[in-house]
Amino acid sequence: MATPIIVVDDDPIVGTLTLELIQEAGFTAILVQDSLKAQDIIKKEKPRLVILDILMPGIDGLTLLHRLKSDPETAKIKTIIVSGKSFAAEKDRALQYGAELFIEKPYEVDSFGQKIAEILKTEGVEPRQISPSHSAPAALMRSDLKITIWGCRASSAAASPAATLYGKRTSCVSVETPRHLIVFDAGSGISLLGKELMESGKFKDVWLFLTHFHHDHIEGLAGLPVARDAAYTLHIAGASDPDKPLEDAIAEAFEPGFGEQAPPCRLEFYELREESYEILPGVRMTAFYSNHPGTALGYSLQAEDRKIVYCPDSEIYGEDATALQDYDEKLGGLCRGADLLFHDGRYTPEDYEANRNSGHSSFIAAVDFAGRNRIKHLVLVHQDDRYADDELDKMAKDAEARAAEKGYKLKVSLGREGLNLTV
């Protein structure tokens, strides 16, 4: 028997919620997150009902609705449009294109299933109970995300130890989804990533999210190999400083390598605010301001049903927070339950005392923060470059000991160059 309902929603959280509501009402449904594939899947599956989100990357719900209703093979399929946008114009277009119903988000949970049942009853389809174990559709099967640290050291003007197993390159972390490459920061570590990209030729589009424009987060752009190749597109996202647009800041960062000329690669700029963005099908990025001098962002990435938070320059106040210092709470809300958190752990508690209010954290405060917010795996990054390996080894041990002593269900690692992780 064909699947009665197909839900097309790029947002895994809303999509899953929709599935649950449908299943509670006694129907079978599958979720399709990639709007570009939806039409083919709908044609093949011939569902009784399709539920379409309006705002999706790739193809929007109204265009998809129009295509379905214009195709004789799918024209008879009942359609519900759901959207957070509730403008009259959208509703009118949805109904004009032939949608049976327009439902506003957030859903009225109680009546949602009932509305679906009503629409399907007119089709003569009786609800049937299914067990949750049958409800995991192929479209929900998730792939692993592959994460690599290419650099994660802070850089200071002070003389630092010459050799280190943890690496001296500055901030750059990549996240590979099955189809996309997302990169955080362009410190000197990005040159290693760039070299590997040129060798593998695997991704021609690189999505780069910059936290801010301090030197140790952009210094790698000038020497980035893929920037010299016209076959590549660099999508660069970041926050504008009040006095400098993003594009100008990037042009300055490229200057040591390219002079006044723009690099040969294609450049796309995305100015971000504190907001959530659907950057690619099934990939949501939430940008938030971090507690660090100047305009600095942290990022929460949701893809493949996983959540990764990247916040390398951020001062957690910990137990000493005053009533006005609510940053820990705000950040906690954004990080809670993350599978992986990269967070500033620049200082030992003693050195933190000497560097309070500089926008960096003690690693102990970061461990406590992660433990309290039920993070699964904390990777401490942005260690001060003056620490030698023996000090960093001790930091790693002390961080683990702290988590154990406090009873946190938390894995803690100290970031180092070349570290590969899978979530």
Summarize as ranges the residues that interact with Zn ion (CB under 5 A): 214, 313
By beta-carbon proximity to Zn ion, the closer residue of 180 and 214 is: 214
Cβ contact 277:301 at 8 Å: no
Find tokens 């790739």 and name the residue: 58
As measured in angstroms, the least distance from the Cβ of 299 to Zn ion is 15
As measured in angstroms, the least distance from the Cβ of 347 to Zn ion is 14
Of 230, 172, 232, 153, the C-alpha closest to 197 is 232
d(C-alpha 261, C-alpha 36), whole Å: 37
By beta-carbon proximity to Zn ion, the closer residue of 218 and 419 is: 218
Cα–Cα distances in Å, from 151 out to 22, 92, 284, 420? Answer: 45, 51, 24, 12
As measured in angstroms, the least distance from the Cβ of 160 to Zn ion is 17
By beta-carbon proximity to Zn ion, the closer residue of 313 and 384 is: 313
Cα–Cα distances in Å, from 25 out to 37, 128, 236, 348? Answer: 26, 9, 43, 54
As measured in angstroms, the least distance from the Cβ of 158 to Zn ion is 16
d(C-alpha 390, C-alpha 41), whole Å: 56
Structure tokens at 164: 């280190």
As measured in angstroms, the least distance from the Cβ of 387 to Zn ion is 17
Structure tokens at 105: 């988000």
By beta-carbon proximity to Zn ion, the closer residue of 217 and 284 is: 217
As measured in angstroms, the least distance from the Cβ of 358 to Zn ion is 9
> E-strand spans in 121-204?
146-151, 172-176, 181-184
Cβ contact 415:342 at 8 Å: yes
Structure tokens at 333: 């809300």
As measured in angstroms, the least distance from the Cβ of 156 to Zn ion is 11
Spatial neighbors of 94 by CB under 8 A, at least 6 apart, are 54, 62, 65, 81, 102
What are the helix and strand counts (H, E) for the chain? 12, 19
By beta-carbon proximity to Zn ion, the closer residue of 34 and 315 is: 315
Find tokens 């200082």 and name the residue: 347
Of 78, 81, 74, the C-alpha closest to 18 is 81
User: Helix, strand, coil proportions of the chain in percent (round to 5)?
Assistant: 35, 25, 40
By beta-carbon proximity to Zn ion, the closer residue of 345 and 371 is: 345
As measured in angstroms, the least distance from the Cβ of 313 to Zn ion is 4
As measured in angstroms, the least distance from the Cβ of 312 to Zn ion is 8
Which amino acid makes up residue 148?
T
By beta-carbon proximity to Zn ion, the closer residue of 168 and 204 is: 168
By beta-carbon proximity to Zn ion, the closer residue of 279 and 311 is: 311
By beta-carbon proximity to Zn ion, the closer residue of 102 and 363 is: 363
Taking CB atoms, the residue at the shortest distance from Zn ion is 214
